[in-house]
């Protein structure tokens, strides 16, 4: 048992959720390595949601509300870490979920679908009858009514190649990625440099706040969004944190 008073309680509990996910067969063993990479970048941004990330989360909520056909992609790490939060967001913005795995096996897809249904998910795309152009077969499978035909896709924790392929299809892609240097962060429409455990509840909160606004007001809100700027600010924040560590150390 990790005591609540432990200075790194949140981070350690998140780690336990991923280990749990591997034991349940919904998270791949490679997902643990991805979790470790994420931990390192979260540590470098100070394990908190930066002002900049909150702005991206608000813009993401507006874009999802403006979407004609939004879909939320769910991978093995997301299913282990924030299944209930994703279901809640899905209902709030009326965006179905679709399981979409990098290390795909039909068994794991089925397990995640069952896991999400057990937790109350009602709207899940479950076919794999279409292929994203430009990707190898198994990496390309999606639902023709889901991600394939969506105009806006929220991809928490997605591979760079696959994000780029979705962008190349003309979709608005919103990614949650703690590494501002990653190809995913660099190629998508909106990059949220934040931990998925903080980001998804934030998007839901903003979606609730913005739900009453007119379309024109939402469009106004997203008009000036500059993703390059988002990434630069996140990189600067990491540099500042390194600076303060370094100064602390020299003293």
- Site residues (vs a second copy, CB under 8 A): 15, 18-19, 22, 29-30, 32-41, 43, 179, 181, 186, 228, 231-232, 235-236, 238-239, 242-243, 245-246, 249-250
Q: CB count, 10 Å around CB of 5? A: 6
Q: How much is the CA Rg of the chain, to the nearest whole Å?
A: 18
CB nearer to a second copy: pick between 136 and 216: 136
For residues 81 and 156, the answer to whether their CB atoms sit within 8 Å is no
CB nearer to a second copy: pick between 184 and 204: 184
Where is 156: in which H helix or E strand?
Answer: strand 152-156
Least distance to a second copy, CB of residue 97, Å: 25
Least distance to a second copy, CB of residue 98, Å: 25
CB nearer to a second copy: pick between 217 and 243: 243
Least distance to a second copy, CB of residue 188, Å: 13
Order of strands across the sheet that contains 97-99:
124-125, 97-99, 70-74, 152-156, 172-176, 190-192
For residues 147 and 153, the answer to whether their CB atoms sit within 8 Å is yes
Least distance to a second copy, CB of residue 243, Å: 7
Distance between CA 9 and CA 232 in Å, rounded? 29
Residue 213: Cβ-neighbour burial (10 angstroms; 0-12, 13-18, 19+): middle
Distance between CA 237 and CA 224 in Å, rounded? 21
Least distance to a second copy, CB of residue 113, Å: 24
CB nearer to a second copy: pick between 90 and 179: 179
CB nearer to a second copy: pick between 40 and 219: 40
CB nearer to a second copy: pick between 138 and 208: 138
CB nearer to a second copy: pick between 101 and 113: 101
- Return the C-alpha torsion angle 159, 165, 170, 173, nearest 10: 0
Distance between CA 85 and CA 119 in Å, rounded? 10
Least distance to a second copy, CB of residue 161, Å: 12
Least distance to a second copy, CB of residue 216, Å: 32
For residues 195 and 178, the answer to whether their CB atoms sit within 8 Å is yes
């Amino acid at each position: 048992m990790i005591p609540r008073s432990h200075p790194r309680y949140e981070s350690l509990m998140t780690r336990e959720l991923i280990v749990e996910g591997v034991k349940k067969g919904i998270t791949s063993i490679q997902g643990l390595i991805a979790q470790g990479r994420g931990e390192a970048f979260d540590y470098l941004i100070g394990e908190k949601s930066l002002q900049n990330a909150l702005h991206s989360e608000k813009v993401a909520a507006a874009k999802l509300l403006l979407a004609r056909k939004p879909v939320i992609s769910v991978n093995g790490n997301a299913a282990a870490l924030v299944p209930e939060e994703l279901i809640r967001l899905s209902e709030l913005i009326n965006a179905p979920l679709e399981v979409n795995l990098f290390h795909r096996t039909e068994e794991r897809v089925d397990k995640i679908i069952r896991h999400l249904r057990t937790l109350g998910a009602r709207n899940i795309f479950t076919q794999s009858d279409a292929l994203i152009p430009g990707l190898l077969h198994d990496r390309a499978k999606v639902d023709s009514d889901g991600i394939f035909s969506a105009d806006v896709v929220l991809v928490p924790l997605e591979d760079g190649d696959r994000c780029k392929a979705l962008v190349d299809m003309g979709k608005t892609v919103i990614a949650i990625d703690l590494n501002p240097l990653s190809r995913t962060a660099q190629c998508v429409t909106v990059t949220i440099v934040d931990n998925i455990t903080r980001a998804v509840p934030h998007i839901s909160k903003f979606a609730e706040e913005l739900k009453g606004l007119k379309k024109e007001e939402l469009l106004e809100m997203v008009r000036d969004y500059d993703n390059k700027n988002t990434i630069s600010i996140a990189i600067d924040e990491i540099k500042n944190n390194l600076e303060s560590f370094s100064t602390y150390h020299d003293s």
